[in-house]
Amino acid sequence: MKVIPYGKQSITQEDIDAVTAVLTSDYLTQGPVVPIFEKAVAQKVKVKHAVAVNSATSALHIACMAFDLGKGDILWTVPNTFVASANCARYCGADVDFVDIDPDTWNISIEKLKEKLCQAKQQNRLPKVLVPVHFAGQPTDEETIWELSKEYGFKVLEDASHAIGASHNDEPVGSCKWSHITVFSFHPVKIITTGEGGMAVTNDDELAERMAMLRTHGIIRDSALFKNNYEVIEPWYYEQQILGFNYRMTDISASLGVSQLARLDGYVQTRNSLANRYQSALADFPVQLPTVEKGNVSAYHLYLIRIKKNGAHTKTQHEVYNALKEKGILANVHYMPVHLHPYYRDLGFTDGQYPESERYSKDALTLPLYAALTHEQQDHVINTLKNIFKK
Ligand SMILES: *Cc1c(COP(=O)(O)O)cnc(C)c1O
């Protein structure tokens, strides 16, 4: 049997044809397809502006820059995420702090967020930006976070790397009804892919304009916005007004994105029905299963279980991981807490600071879940787990 990974892309003949069409066209980059992809995503998630870039990491970086995050400022996120959610602050010279997760949703704990904001206000150390992560594809409590952002004056930057196609109270993730900017990732393990790629979406005209400049060196070509006051503006003229980067997405990538986006709803449905199959099959296992909160549709980027203590029969995360691996099943752990990476320890973070995320990282296991996972493969995962927990 072939190895079953925890996640992987689905590529169809339409995808291959779309990419091939760009390869034989006039433009491989800075052509017409990136704006087409941006419009398609914006329409899909019901938002005004979309800025495509070469990764979600780049999108997080230019979003933080658009907020003017800098030295002396603080960004908060959760420890249970990929390091990029926190690193974006460090790129800007800002400090990072964390809010622990909820033991049931595995998303940011609203209770802990409220407590921490209250304390931070007294110490005059309020965050400038909060990065809530829609973990595994499940939206956070977006309305409450939005209310708190108004009360305490921080910006909300949703890391929706797991959650394109998800919705909260009938509002698609990315509509930015309850945030300033939302970021998506199109890495191959995510819901849809462009190879590498990401996007920042917003309803704010100024933030969108700034992010569009920042992704391409801080250069503008719109003569209405030029600052140099030359008498004659030559046709080849452009201006660099701020310090930006080359974070552009190629038209090759965007063409794959356009093609994949057309199948987004189907992918999310398939992921949900596979997740439901796991839910019923694993119901009697000594594990905690994921929950989906009322009002949420999860994109189910990841399917995780937490191994419960079960007396003398308790299996460790390590044992279950290895027993699965022996049968050709590559589980994973999402995530090792960000604050315990050596880079963050060097900044002063230490064990025991975020106990829920730390406990979680020691008993959670990510099982295979992707659109192309067959029922036969999934049954192999389920039966293997059955044998592991029986012993
Ligand atoms: C994948 C991921 C990122 C980074 O995405 P890239 O497109 O690989 O840069 C950021 N945050 C989270 C939560 C992710 O899962």
Q: Is the CB of 84 under 6 A from ligand 1?
A: yes
Which of 82, 133, 192, 336 best tests ligand 1's pocket when mutated (most atoms within 8 Å of CB)?
82
- DSSP letters, 72-115, are T-EEEE-SSS-THHHHHHHHTT-EEEE-PBPTTT-SB-HHHHHH
198 CB within 6 A, ligand 1: yes
What's the pLDDT tens digit per position in 24-49? 999 999 999 999 999 999 999 999 99
Count CA within 13 A, CB hemisphere, residue 104: 5
Return the residue whose CA atom lies nearest to atom 2 of ligand 1: 161
* Residue 391 confidence (pLDDT) above 70: no
The tens digit of pLDDT for each residue in 62-75 reads 999 999 999 999 99
Ligand 1 binding pocket includes 162 (Cβ within 6 Å):
yes
- Site to probe by mutation for ligand 1, drawn from 8, 85, 131, 338 as the one with most ligand atoms within 8 Å of Cβ, is 85
Tell me which residue of 66, 135, 101 sits closest to 296, measured CA to CA: 135
Q: Where does the pLDDT of residue 1 fall: very low under 50, low under 70, confident under 90, or very high at 90 and above?
A: low
The 8-class DSSP code of residue 290 comes to P
Using CA atoms, how far apart are residues 72 and 252, in angstroms rounded to an integer?
A: 39
Two tokens at 332?
């994973």
Residue 82 CB less than 6 A away from ligand 1: yes
**The model scores a pTM over 0.75:** yes
Q: Would you say 38 and 44 are in contact if contact means Cβ atoms under 8 Å apart?
A: no
133 close to ligand 1 (CB < 6 Angstrom): yes
Q: Is 55 in the pocket of ligand 1 (CB under 6 A)?
A: yes
